[in-house]
Structure 1
Amino acid sequence: MQNKEDTLDQLFTKFESEWDVVALPHDHQNRFISKLENTGIKRKKRNWYTSIAIAASLVVMFSLSFFFKTEAKTNHFIFASTETKQTDSIFTVLIKNELHKLQEKKSPHNQKIIADALQQMKILDNDYQKIIKEIATNGENKQIIYAMISNLQTRISFLQNVLTQIEATEQLNTQNDEKTL
């Protein structure tokens, strides 16, 4: 082993005077690139489509994770009684139907109303998730069950009120359009 190290040291000392230790001129890179361009070898440009494709893939992955995360919320009553599970499922179906009706009413005239309603529904849903966590940690009691049912009823009545308001707005727009004809 010692012999190999000695031969390497001898090589370094033998060629020490021949090493290229001169600093490159300031415009060396620009001259090198211009020579490459003159010879027909082009510098590879960064492909932006690849970056966009990666970003789009990430967006799709995050969207799918949120989709499956919301689907996992349906099994949140592991510790609840069958009556509580049935109540939740009945109200959930009613809320989904009202949300579907709301999405069907979407138009440029009432887009802001629907966006505000969906924002309010997110707030009510967050409150509902807190109630569910409370049931999971402390078990069922009358106050928590009442809060859960109250939240579900509030969401249904809120959606019905929004739908009524949208229908009234559409009817008013229709009457105004008929008067202008």
Structure 2
Amino acid sequence: MKKEKENLDNLLKKFENQWDVHEINPDHQIVFFNKLNKKNTKKNNYTTWAIAASIAILLGISVFYNNSKKPKEFKFASKETKRTDSIFSILIDNELIKLKDKTSPENEQIINDALKQMKIFDADYEKILKEVQKNGENKQIIYAMISNLQTRISFLQTVLQHIEENENLKKTTYEKIL
């Protein structure tokens, strides 16, 4: 214990002239708080501007998105038709997401062709919707609508299956080479 105290005393003597022993200005606290308050007002200003800019960007995006995608008008259709359309639309959207996730240089042509075909199916579907709006719902038109929706889902699933088969073929070919 005595040795530790000696070591501590030696250490303190070694750094004796290096201690900061200056007296603090009595107004130091006031100056400090003034600087602190100045910084906070600037920070609050930047925060306010950042929030305002974020809101403006979100509003701009929402306006652009709402104008670029016209919603389907189904005011004339029955609840069952609306429900059927929404269920199939969700399934089709999910398949399109899966298809876009498979994008690669090898699959680019297949996916582009599939998307072109989907535009054709969409155009046919729009014709069917106009027919429903014009003539009302009947069994033939509803059957055509459901058939179009089923065809689109089936088509997307076939394309996805084809892409997966190509990927598996490349993997097995690569494994055989090694």
> TM-score, normalised on structure 1?
0.61
Q: Which amino acid aligns with 1:134?
A: E
Report the 3-state secondary structure (helix = DSSP H, G, I; strand = E; otherwise coil) of the residue aligned with 1:163: helix
Deviations 1:101-132 (A, max 9, x none): 00011111111000000000000000000000
Choose the corresponding residue for 1:166, options 141, 163, 176.
163
Matched, 1:91 2:78: no
Structure 1 unaligned blocks of 5 or more = 1-63
Q: Could you tell me how far 1:69 is from its partner in structure 2?
A: 5.2
Q: 1:175 maps to which residue?
A: 172
Alpha-carbon distance between aligned partners in 2 of 1:77 and 1:118, rounded to the nearest angstrom: 25
Tell me how many residue pairs correspond in the alignment: 117
Q: Could you tell me how far 1:68 is from its partner in structure 2?
A: 3.6
Query: Structure 2 vs 1, CA of residues 139 and 69 (structure 1 numbering), >3 Å: closer, same or farther?
Result: farther
Choose the corresponding residue for 1:132, options 129, 132, 135.
129
Deviations 1:51-86 (A, max 9, x none): xxxxxxxxxxxxx86x54563233x11100000000
> TM-score, normalised on structure 2?
0.62
Identity value in percent? 61
Structure 2 unaligned blocks of 5 or more = 1-62
Deviations 1:23-46 (A, max 9, x none): xxxxxxxxxxxxxxxxxxxxxxxx
Structure 1 residue ranges (4+ consecutive) displaced by more than 4 angstroms after TM superposition = none
Alpha-carbon distance between aligned partners in 1 of 2:66 and 2:133, rounded to the nearest angstrom: 21
Choose the corresponding residue for 2:152, options 137, 150, 155.
155
- Computed over aligned residues only, the root mean square deviation of the Cα atoms, in angstroms, reads 1.7
Choose the corresponding residue for 1:120, options 77, 101, 117.
117
Q: 1:111 maps to which residue?
A: 108
Q: Could you tell me how far 1:178 is from its partner in structure 2?
A: 1.3
Matched, 1:71 2:59: no
